[in-house]
C-alpha cells in the first residue's frame, strides 16, 4: 500500500521542516525494483520541440542564451532542431556544439540517411532518430510499412554509431502503434546497439496506467535505456513522465514551460515539482532549481507568453495561502499545507489575509508584523470587522492595516467604549472558513 | 496490455474522423471492472475551492452568473463556500439554492454541529463535511485525535441525514494520513449511511499509482460512492482524477481553470479533455463541452487572470500545428496529430505555415486557399524561399502570401527567367522539419 503512515514525531520548528519524519512516503516505491525515480535524466527540448511552439522564433543569440541557461541549470542533454530543417538551423546547431557545454548536445532527425549525414557533420554528441509507427502516420504521413521502417532504421543507426556518437531510436505516436510491431522494432534496434529507445505520446492521448504497462513491457524486451516524450493535450504529461520513470524509463523529454506543438509537452518546472517530492536529495544534487523562475522568464519573453497564473512553482499564487484554516496551520507549520518549500526555488510564501475567508490566526500574525499588541480575543474581534468589510468589497492590505490600527487605537484609548460596539446584531456568529 | 492495436481500416475522409476504428483504445480498460471512467460525475467547486484562489472576490451577482453557466454546462453538483465563512456567504448560499437549478447544491463545512446547523438552514441539497486526518493537521490545525474525529463525524452526519439531505464525509490530506485510521473512519461513516466518502490530496503530493491503490483499497471497504479532490502543486491533478475513476471513484471535484488554494485543483476543461478521449459518447451526452471557452472566459474575467497559453482545449495554440511534417499529415487526416476534435469545443484548427519549419504540403494548401495554381514542384520551390526568409526573421501570413503571389506572377510571366534563379548556391538541400 502506497499510503504509508507519517511518523508522528514531527518537530514543531518554526520553519516547518520535515526533518523529523523518519522516511519519505513519496520516495520511490520499495516494490518498484526497476524504478528510476531516483536516477532520472532530462533531455531538454526547448530548442527543438519548443521551436515548434506557435510563437517561437529563436534567433541564434537567443538559442545560445537558452542553451547556456539550461546547461547551467544542469540538464543532461540539450536537443536541437534538425540541421535539415533550414540552413540557419544547421548553423545554429554547429554554433551550440562549439560552446563547450557540460550538457550533451543532440539533434533530432527523420529516419533518413541524408538527415543522418547532415546531423553527424554538425559536431553533435548524439542523434535522436524518429519515425512514425502508428497506422495513422504510416498511412497519412510517410506511407512506409514496418519492414521498410526497420530496414532504414538499421542503416541510419549503424551509420551514426560508426561516427562514435550516441544514437536514440524512437517510434512516433507509440500509444497508437501495434504493440507487437513496436516491440519487434525496439528489440531489433536494441540488438544493434542503440543507446536509447524512445516512446512518444505524440498526440497526448496516453494515461498513466497505460504508460506504466507499456514501459514495463518494453523494459523486459530491451537492455538499453528508455526515453519518454509526452504531449500535454489531455493534461497528463507530468504524471505520465513520473509514472514512466516508475516503470523503468530513465530519460524524460521536457521543455521550458512545456512549449511545443499544440499545447506542448512535459514542462521542466512542473516535472521538477513532481520529482523533488519524490527524491529531494537527488534533485538538489543535480539541478539548480532556484534558477527555474529565471529560465522560465527568459523563454516566456522569447516566445512572448505570460507565465500561466497556475504554473507549478512559479505561478503567482503557487505559495499563497488564503482560507483562514490554511493560514492558521501554515503559520504553525508550513508542511501542513505545502509539499514544496518555496525556499528551494528562491521564492517566498505569502499568507493572503485581506479577504472575507481570513481567520484570526492570520490577522494575529499581521498584528505582530505591525508591531502592535492585541490579545487573542481582540484579534478575533478585529477579524470579524475585517471579514465584514471583506463581504462588501475586495480588500487590499492597506484596508486591513488601517482597520487593525484604528481598532488598536480604540482599545488603547480609555475615553472610548473599548470594544464590541456592534457585536450583538442579528447575524449569526462568524467563523473561519474551512476546506479540504 | 493497454496499448491495443488500432484497426487499419481508417477511412481516408477529409475530416479525418475516426469512425472507421472499430473500438476505442482509450476506453475504460476491460479488466477494470470497478472503473467509473464511463460513469463519472462532477462536483464543481469554483464557488468554494475557487473562492480560496488568491484573486477571487465573487459578488452575489457573479456567483449567480457562474452557477447558472455551470448548471447549463451540465455539472452534477455545485459546491459553495460554507455559510459559516461570512454573513454574505450565507446569504449567497441561500440565493443560489433558490435558483431552481438542475445541479444539486452543496456546501462545504467543518465537522462541527454549529456549522452543520447553519448549513441545513440554507436549503442546500447536500453537505460536504471535512476534517483533517493527517498527523500534520491533527497536530497543527485542529489538535484532535481520531476517536474525537469519529465521534463528531457521527454526530454531524446523523444530524444532516435527519434533514433528508445528502451528506459526504471527507478526510483532509488523505495521502499523508495513516491508512488504518482512514479505513476505520471511512467504514464507520459508511455504516451510518453517508452518500459519499471523500479522499483529498490537500497538498498536491499524490501520484497516479498511489491514487489507484488507495481508491481500490477504499472501494473494497465502503459501499457508498467515492469522491476525490486533487490539488495541482506537482501538476498531476488531471491524471490523478482519471486514475481515481479507473480505481472506482465516481465523483471528481473540479473548478473552472482549476482555481483554488495555491495553484489550484483539477480543472474542469482539462478533465473534459481527458474524459472525452476515454468516452466521447458519455461526455457528449452529459456535458455541453462547446461552452467550456465561454465559462472559462467568464471566470477568468471575474478573477482577473488570463487563460494560460498552454491550457488544454482553450489555450491559444491547442489546435495549432506548426512543423512541416505535422501539417502534411494533419491536412491528410487530422487524427494523425489530434486526439481531440476542435469542432467538439466550438473551436477551429490552425495550420501555422508562416515559419522556417514549414513544409511544402502546408504551403500548397495555402496556395489553394489563395486560389492560385502551382505544380507540386513549384510549391516546393516557393516553400524554400519562404523557409529562407523564415531563417532571417519572424514571418507573418502577409509575408508568406506576398512571396507566394510574387512567385506565382513570376512563373506565369514568360519574359522573366521562370524559376530557380538562386537555387545552386552552396547551402545543403532544405527539407521539411521532422519530430515526434
Instruction: Please say whether the beta carbons of B82 and A434 come within 8 A.
Output: yes
Cβ-Cβ contacts under 8 Å, B280 against chain A = none
Nearest CA in chain A to B135: A8
Q: Please give the Cα distance from B436 to B434 (Å, whole number).
A: 7
A204 conformational bin, left if phi > 0, alpha if psi -120 to 50, beta if neither: left
Decide if A280 touches B, using CB distance below 8 A. no
Find residues 129-188 of chain B whose CB sits inside 8 Å of chain A.
130, 134-137, 139-141, 170, 172-179, 182
Q: What interhelical angle do A237-247 and A268-278 show, nearest 10?
A: 50
- The verdict on a CB contact (< 8 Å) between A52 and B326 is yes
Residue A170 buriedness (CB in 10 A; 0-12 / 13-18 / 19+): buried
Cβ-Cβ contacts under 8 Å, B263 against chain A = 310-312, 315, 317-318
Q: Looking at the predicted structure, is the pLDDT value of residue B366 above 50?
A: yes
Q: Looking at the predicted structure, is the pLDDT value of residue A432 above 60?
A: no
Q: Give the pLDDT band (50/70/90) at residue B31.
A: low
Q: Looking at the predicted structure, is the pLDDT value of residue B413 above 90?
A: no
Query: B18 or B290, which is more confident?
Result: B290
Nearest CA in chain B to A429: B84
Cβ-Cβ contacts under 8 Å, A89 against chain B = 356, 391
Q: What is the distance, to the nearest Å, from the Cα of residue A333 to the centroid of all Cα atoms in its chain? A: 25
Residue A299 buriedness (CB in 10 A; 0-12 / 13-18 / 19+): buried
For residue A117, count other CB atoms closer than 10 A to its CB. 17
Cβ-Cβ contacts under 8 Å, B393 against chain A = 57
Q: Which of A89-103, A122-136, A161-175, B272-286 has the lowest mean pLDDT?
A: A122-136
Q: Looking at the predicted structure, is the pLDDT value of residue A69 above 90?
A: yes
Nearest CA in chain B to A277: B205
Write out the three cell numbers for B211.
Answer: 491514487
Residues B167-175, mean pLDDT to the nearest whole number: 94
Query: B219 or A27, which is more confident?
Result: B219
The reported pLDDT for the residue numbered B394 is: 87
The reported pLDDT for the residue numbered B351 is: 86
Nearest-CB residue to A86 (from B200, B338, B356): B356
Beta strands in B111-255, from DSSP E residues, in sequence order: 126-132, 166-172, 196-201, 225-230, 251-254
Q: Please give the Cα distance from B81 to A435 (Å, whole number).
A: 9
DSSP bridge partners of A130: A110, A170
Nearest CA in chain A to B241: A236
Residues B92-102, mean pLDDT to the nearest whole number: 98
For residue B220, count other CB atoms closer than 10 A to its CB. 9
Write out the three cell numbers for A384.
Answer: 470579524
Q: Give the pLDDT band (50/70/90) at residue A26.
A: low
Give the end-to-end CA distance of chain A in Å, rounded to a whole number. 23
Q: What is the distance, to the nearest Å, from the Cα of residue A364 to the centroid of all Cα atoms in its chain? A: 35
The reported pLDDT for the residue numbered A133 is: 82
Q: Please give the Cα distance from A217 to B282 (Å, whole number).
A: 31
Q: Looking at the predicted structure, is the pLDDT value of residue B354 above 60?
A: yes
Residues B193-200, mean pLDDT to the nearest whole number: 97
Q: Please give the Cα distance from A334 to A337 (Å, whole number).
A: 6
Q: Looking at the predicted structure, is the pLDDT value of residue B16 above 50?
A: no
Quick one: DSSP state of residue B229? E
Nearest-CB residue to A203 (from B175, B234, B339): B339
Q: Looking at the predicted structure, is the pLDDT value of residue B425 above 70?
A: no
HSE value, Cβ hemisphere, 13 Å, CA-based, for B32: 26
A47, B118, B337, B366 from B12: Cα distances, Å:
34, 61, 15, 21
The residue behind cell 507519517 is: A6
Q: What is the distance, to the nearest Å, from the Cα of residue A334 to the centroid of all Cα atoms in its chain? A: 21
Q: Looking at the predicted structure, is the pLDDT value of residue B433 above 90?
A: no
- Give chain A's radius of gyration (CA, Å): 27
Residues B269-280, mean pLDDT to the nearest whole number: 97
Q: Give the pLDDT band (50/70/90) at residue A328.
A: confident
- 3-state SS, residue A252: strand
Cβ-Cβ contacts under 8 Å, B435 against chain A = 48-49, 52, 108, 130, 261
Q: What is the distance, to the nearest Å, from the Cα of residue A329 to the centroid of all Cα atoms in its chain? A: 26
Write out the three cell numbers for A17.
Answer: 521542516
Beta strands in B74-125, from DSSP E residues, in sequence order: 77-80, 104-110
A311, A313, B137, B199 from A346: Cα distances, Å:
16, 10, 26, 32
- Give chain B's radius of gyration (CA, Å): 27
Measured in degrees and rounded to the nearest 5, phi and psi for residue B395 equal -100, 150
What is the DSSP code string of A79-104? Answer: EE--TTS-HHHHHHHHHHHTT--SSE
Q: Write the ipTM.
A: 0.86
Q: Please give the Cα distance from B264 to B273 (Å, whole number).
A: 18
pTM equals 0.86
DSSP bridge partners of B130: B110, B170
- The verdict on a CB contact (< 8 Å) between A263 and B318 is yes
Nearest-CB residue to A261 (from B173, B323, B339): B323
Q: Which tens digit of pLDDT belongs to each residue from A187-230?
A: 999 999 999 999 999 999 999 999 999 999 999 999 999 999 99
The reported pLDDT for the residue numbered B30 is: 58
- The verdict on a CB contact (< 8 Å) between B6 and A136 is yes
- The verdict on a CB contact (< 8 Å) between B246 and A306 is no
Instruction: Please say whether the beta carbons of A164 and A199 come within 8 A.
Output: no
Q: Please give the Cα distance from A35 to A216 (Å, whole number).
A: 10
Q: Please give the Cα distance from B303 to B297 (Å, whole number).
A: 10
Residue tagged active-site, from A231, A326, A352, A394: A326
Q: Please give the Cα distance from A361 to A347 (Å, whole number).
A: 23
The reported pLDDT for the residue numbered B108 is: 95
- The verdict on a CB contact (< 8 Å) between A262 and B51 is no
Q: Please give the Cα distance from B104 to B110 (Å, whole number).
A: 20
Nearest to A198 by CA among A164, A169, A230, A238: A169
Amino acid at each position: 500500500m502506497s499510503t504509508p503512515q507519517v511518523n508522528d514525531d514531527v518537530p514543531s520548528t518554526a520553519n516547518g521542516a520535515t526533518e523529523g519524519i523518519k522516511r519519505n512516503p513519496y520516495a520511490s516505491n520499495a516494490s518498484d525494483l526497476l524504478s528510476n525515480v531516483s536516477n532520472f535524466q532530462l533531455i531538454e527540448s526547448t530548442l527543438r520541440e519548443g521551436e515548434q511552439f506557435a510563437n517561437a522564433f529563436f534567433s541564434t543569440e537567443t538559442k545560445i542564451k537558452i542553451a547556456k541557461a539550461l546547461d547551467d541549470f544542469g540538464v543532461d542533454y540539450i536537443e536541437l532542431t534538425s540541421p535539415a530543417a533550414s540552413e540557419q538551423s544547421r548553423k545554429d546547431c554547429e554554433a551550440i556544439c562549439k560552446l563547450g557545454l557540460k550538457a550533451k548536445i543532440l539533434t533530432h532527425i527523420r529516419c533518413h540517411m541524408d538527415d543522418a549525414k547532415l546531423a553527424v557533420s554538425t559536431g553533435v554528441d548524439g542523434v535522436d532518430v524518429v519515425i512514425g509507427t502508428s497506422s495513422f502516420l504510416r498511412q497519412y504521413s510517410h506511407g512506409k510499412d514496418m519492414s521498410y521502417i526497420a530496414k532504414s532504421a538499421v542503416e541510419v543507426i549503424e551509420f551514426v554509431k560508426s561516427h562514435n556518437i550516441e544514437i536514440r531510436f524512437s517510434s512516433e505516436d507509440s500509444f497508437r502503434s501495434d504493440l507487437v510491431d513496436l516491440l519487434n522494432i525496439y528489440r531489433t534496434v536494441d540488438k544493434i546497439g542503440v543507446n536509447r529507445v524512445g516512446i512518444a505520446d505524440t498526440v497526448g492521448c496516453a494515461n498513466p496506467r497505460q504508460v506504466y504497462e507499456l514501459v514495463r513491457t518494453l523494459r523486459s524486451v530491451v537492455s538499453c535505456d528508455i526515453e519518454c516524450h509526452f504531449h500535454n493535450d489531455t493534461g497528463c504529461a507530468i504524471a505520465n513522465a513520473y509514472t514512466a520513470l516508475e516503470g523503468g524509463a530513465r530519460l524524460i523529454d521536457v521543455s521550458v514551460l512545456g512549449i511545443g506543438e499544440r499545447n506542448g509537452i512535459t514542462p521542466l518546472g512542473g516535472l521538477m515539482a513532481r520529482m523533488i517530492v519524490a527524491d529531494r536529495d537527488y534533485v538538489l544534487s543535480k539541478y539548480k532549481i532556484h534558477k527555474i523562475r529565471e529560465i522560465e522568464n527568459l523563454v516566456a519573453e522569447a516566445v512572448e507568453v505570460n507565465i500561466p497564473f497556475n504554473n507549478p512553482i512559479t505561478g503567482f499564487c503557487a505559495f499563497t495561502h488564503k482560507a483562514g484554516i490554511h493560514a492558521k496551520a501554515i503559520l504553525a507549520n508550513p508542511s501542513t499545507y505545502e509539499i514544496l518549500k518555496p525556499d528551494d526555488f528562491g521564492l517566498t510564501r505569502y499568507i493572503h489575509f485581506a479577504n472575507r475567508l481570513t481567520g484570526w490566526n492570520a490577522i494575529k500574525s499581521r498584528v505582530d508584523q505591525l508591531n502592535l499588541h492585541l490579545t487573542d480575543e481582540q484579534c478575533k474581534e478585529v477579524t470579524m470587522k475585517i471579514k465584514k468589510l471583506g463581504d462588501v468589497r475586495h480588500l487590499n492590505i492597506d484596508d486591513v492595516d488601517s482597520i487593525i490600527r484604528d481598532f488598536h487605537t480604540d482599545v488603547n484609548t480609555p475615553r472610548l467604549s473599548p470594544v464590541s460596539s456592534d457585536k450583538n446584531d442579528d447575524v449569526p456568529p462568524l467563523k473561519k472558513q474551512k476546506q479540504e
